[in-house]
Structure 1
Amino acid sequence: MMRRILANAGWLLGGKGVNAALSLVYLAIATRALGLAEFGQFTLVVALAQALTGIASFQTWLFVVRWGNSAAQDPVQDRKTGTRDVIGFATALDLASMALGTLAAGALALSALHWVGLSADLGWPTFLFCAVSMLAIRSTPTGILRLHDRYARAAGAETAIPVIRAIGAGLAALFMPTIIGFLLAWAAAELAAAAACWAAAARFGRPQLSAISLTRLPRQEAGVWRFVLSTNFSSSTGVAGRQVLLLMVGAFGGATMAGIYRVAAQLGLAILKLGQAVLQAIFPDLVRAGPQDHVLAGRIARVAAVTALASIALAVAGGEVLIAAVAGPEFSAAYVPMIILAAASAIELVGASWDALLVARRRAGLVLALRAVPMAAALALVPWAISVAGASGAAAASLLASTLAVGGLFFFARLVTRPARPVAE
């Protein structure tokens, strides 16, 4: 089992590694082509789209893995029929998210001109970019690939994003060095990744029109909606920790500060991609592991702790040089927030296995509470933190939320896996 997890994580980390390397390329191109002020505006548009996508969409890949495995192990239910209904329900959720999210994009783009401080000429581009981001949701095909342990194919499909962003950024810098040019490149990357992911998943399971329903599976299985809503809200708090916080930096500190924070986040949160890869690789095996899942989660957490400490040391030692090389000297103010966000990412990396463990044990609602409460407190502190310490204050609020959330995950993971004491006679 451990060998399979490491192999799956290897494929995911390989994709994340390509993403991280190419992200430095397109970050360097965008910051130098747009400059500090326009890069801040571009950053806010992308953050709006990512916040909308993260909040409006469901983590259907978790559902496909969780209920797809249940269907496979059910001796009464036909496996093919059960999996078909699971994929149909997940697809229906994605379609509903696309429709509602696109409608919400209009109101969001219009209001953002006032509270985030976007230029008036960015209204329509912001709406269109948000709508494209919603149409590019690919959680269900990702779940199909992970259900069948096809991590290599999933990683290959996701690689389309950094590759096309890097190529598109180069073309934009040469022929259309404006915010619109870079938004076109980012939109093309999202659509290409969605198409590649669905094409890869089609060999192992595709939605059948007759099975696409929001009601059929919930009538057959108890707890479906509770699981789906809990994982969605839990994911939304993660989005709030990154994109909504970035939007608040723009709202209270201006587009220039948002650009500085974005560079710090791009570099400092790179380790969080490792945490996401660990969670995605370990979750299917935690579902299958049964009573021994806590042993597996403990091993992963110990490996993650060593990786996290090394990553923080690397950020402290080489952060200034990296910022100057990638974004240029005008972004030097991103160094301190980058270190703070690297520490927050390191804490999240350690907590990834406990998060996956609790979700696998059907404690998704508990995970939601453990993440939502600290994040709400951190967001409430952001205006004051920015007034005191600028971008570093916003990063500190993110660090506080991660510390409290992961501390809670550790406590309750130990609690739910503790063997019951025998009752004295």
Structure 2
Amino acid sequence: MTILADRLTDNRRRVLAWFQDDVFRRLFVNAGKLLSANVVGAVLGLIAAVLTARALGPQDYGILALVLVYQLTVGKLVTFDAWQAVIKFGSEALHADDRAGLRQLVKFGFALDIASALVGMALAMALAGPVIGLLGWDASVRPLVVLYSVLILFSLSGTPIGVLRLFDRFDLLSYTAILSGVVRLAGVAWCLLTNQRLFGFVLVYLITGIVGQLYQVFASLWVLRKQNVTGVINEPLRGIRRRFPGIADYVWTTNLTMTVRMLSREADGLFIAALTTPAALGLFKVAKQFAGVLPRFSDPLSQSIYPELARAWAARDAGRFVSLIKRTTLFTAAAAFGGWFVFLLAGRWIIRWTVGPAYQDAYWVTVFYLLALVI
């Protein structure tokens, strides 16, 4: 018993010592900003989802789920997530006090965002009919899919997210979840008060997405101005590969990684749509909605660690790099298993008193989906 007590004491001291590290403490401060906003955003989003599911029922809620997952899948397949490149090479530019290089990098990121958004929207609209036919769904769904594909045109948040994280403006980034949650909840309330059906809800979700994307763009431009990074649009892109060796390969590699990760999280809805009915997809959407609360708590830590890792890498500090990964992995794993266990015990009650008895069959789907996320 004495040996066990000594080990527990040593582990406690070791964990407390982690928070004496300025980098680790800053990591948790930034994660805390995102987490507090994510909690509010998750609550608002969950309330909106519950009201939507109750109003539409499993059948129409399943159609809404298809509309959402189609836009997300096609959009992510085509658009670039430039934020990782902005952070990595931006950290190097800041470390070398290369303002011209930073302007060039930001312009490169925005150019990727805009070009891929245009291509993505056109492709999504063109493929809407064939995909719906391939899935065996009613052709009446196509106008809704085409309408919601407009959101891809505004999917320009890759570079803005990178800029906000690069300059540690996690407070501004965190407001996205709250703003989107408030707008969506207000829109859903309008749908309920005016007896809107499926089209009205699709329109509300579209407007919510556009508002969130545009907010991040304007917030990043404001931060660049505050940091005296002006004249971005006039900075020539010529020579960017010489200034940032490996940037093209890095962008392609990270985009492929993020695309595969997104497909593992989101594209399952398309497979469910192809194999089952809209009502079954509606149940699956509810399960994902509840399971999506868990990443809301873990993602802030993952998002906050990336700039710190980029700084450690730019400074060639391998010890700090490895230490940050080990410590954040431990905290994330503990929180994830705790969340899964809570739903395992109280999940049936939660589903019954939120979305209603019509979605009770979503319990076991949610349990296993949560477990897969944890693992």
Amino acid in the other structure paired with 2:150: A
Please give the residue correspondences for 1:271-286 in structure 2 after superposition, counting only pairs within 5 Å.
271-286=294-309
| Map of 2:124 onto structure 1 | 105
User: Offset of 1:161 from its aligned partner?
Assistant: 1.5
Residue 160 (structure 2) pairs with residue 136 (structure 1) = no
Amino acid in the other structure paired with 2:50: A
- Secondary structure of 1:203's counterpart equals helix
Instruction: Give the whole-Å Cα distance in 2 for the aligned partners of 1:216 and 1:319.
Output: 55
Amino acid in the other structure paired with 2:293: A
Task: Call closer, same or farther: CA 1:112–1:177 in 2, change over 3 Å.
Answer: farther
Residue 310 (structure 2) pairs with residue 291 (structure 1) = no
- Deviation readout 1:200-252 (Å, 9 max, x if unpaired): 21222267222374x54224322111111111111111221122111100111
Q: 2:169 aligns with which of 121, 136, 150?
A: 150
Counterpart contact for 2:128–2:146, Cα < 8 Å: yes
Task: Call closer, same or farther: CA 1:310–1:110 in 2, change over 3 Å.
Answer: same
Q: TM-score, normalised by structure 2?
A: 0.87
User: Offset of 1:255 from its aligned partner?
Assistant: 1.3
Counterpart contact for 1:117–1:255, Cα < 8 Å: no
- Secondary structure of 2:156's counterpart equals coil
| Larger Rg belongs to | 2
| Map of 2:354 onto structure 1 | 326
| Map of 2:366 onto structure 1 | 338
Residue 135 (structure 2) pairs with residue 116 (structure 1) = yes
Task: Call closer, same or farther: CA 1:212–1:143 in 2, change over 3 Å.
Answer: farther
User: Offset of 1:338 from its aligned partner?
Assistant: 0.4
Please give the residue correspondences for 1:155-166 in structure 2 after superposition, counting only pairs within 5 Å.
155-166=174-185
Counterpart contact for 1:218–1:224, Cα < 8 Å: yes
Instruction: Give the whole-Å Cα distance in 1 for the aligned partners of 2:209 and 2:90.
Output: 26
User: Offset of 1:185 from its aligned partner?
Assistant: 0.7
| Map of 1:51 onto structure 2 | 73
| Map of 1:191 onto structure 2 | 210
User: Offset of 1:190 from its aligned partner?
Assistant: 1.1
Name structure 2 gaps, 5 residues minimum. 1-22, 226-230
User: Offset of 1:145 from its aligned partner?
Assistant: 0.9
Counterpart contact for 1:271–1:311, Cα < 8 Å: yes
User: Offset of 1:176 from its aligned partner?
Assistant: 4.5
Instruction: Give the whole-Å Cα distance in 1 for the aligned partners of 2:308 and 2:281.
Output: 39
Q: 2:232 aligns with which of 198, 202, 208?
A: 208
Amino acid in the other structure paired with 1:336: W
Instruction: Give the whole-Å Cα distance in 1 for the aligned partners of 2:236 and 2:207.
Output: 27
- Deviation readout 1:136-177 (Å, 9 max, x if unpaired): 331211111111000001111332222111111111122252
Instruction: Give the whole-Å Cα distance in 2 for the aligned partners of 1:139 and 1:314.
Output: 34
| Map of 2:45 onto structure 1 | 23
> What is the percentage of aligned positions where both structures have the same residue?
25
| Map of 1:7 onto structure 2 | 29
Task: Call closer, same or farther: CA 1:104–1:224 in 2, change over 3 Å.
Answer: same
| Map of 1:404 onto structure 2 | none
| Map of 1:248 onto structure 2 | 271
Counterpart contact for 1:55–1:235, Cα < 8 Å: no
User: Offset of 1:258 from its aligned partner?
Assistant: 0.9
| Map of 1:305 onto structure 2 | 333
Instruction: Give the whole-Å Cα distance in 2 for the aligned partners of 1:301 and 1:42.
Output: 35
Q: TM-score, normalised by structure 1?
A: 0.77
Of 98-107 and 201-210, more deviation after overlay is shown by 201-210
Instruction: Give the whole-Å Cα distance in 1 for the aligned partners of 2:131 and 2:67.
Output: 9
Residue 62 (structure 2) pairs with residue 40 (structure 1) = yes
Structure 1 moving runs of 4+ over 3 Å: none
Instruction: Give the whole-Å Cα distance in 2 for the aligned partners of 1:133 and 1:318.
Output: 37
- Deviation readout 1:394-425 (Å, 9 max, x if unpaired): xxxxxxxxxxxxxxxxxxxxxxxxxxxxxxxx
Amino acid in the other structure paired with 1:38: D
Q: 1:220 aligns with which of 243, 256, 265?
A: 243
| Map of 2:293 onto structure 1 | 270
Counterpart contact for 1:32–1:327, Cα < 8 Å: yes
Q: 1:72 aligns with which of 89, 94, 106?
A: 94
Amino acid in the other structure paired with 1:155: S
How many residue pairs were aligned?
343
Instruction: Give the whole-Å Cα distance in 2 for the aligned partners of 1:137 and 1:254.
Output: 33
Amino acid in the other structure paired with 1:340: F
Counterpart contact for 2:294–2:336, Cα < 8 Å: yes
Instruction: Give the whole-Å Cα distance in 1 for the aligned partners of 2:302 and 2:366.
Output: 23
Instruction: Give the whole-Å Cα distance in 2 for the aligned partners of 1:3 and 1:145.
Output: 19
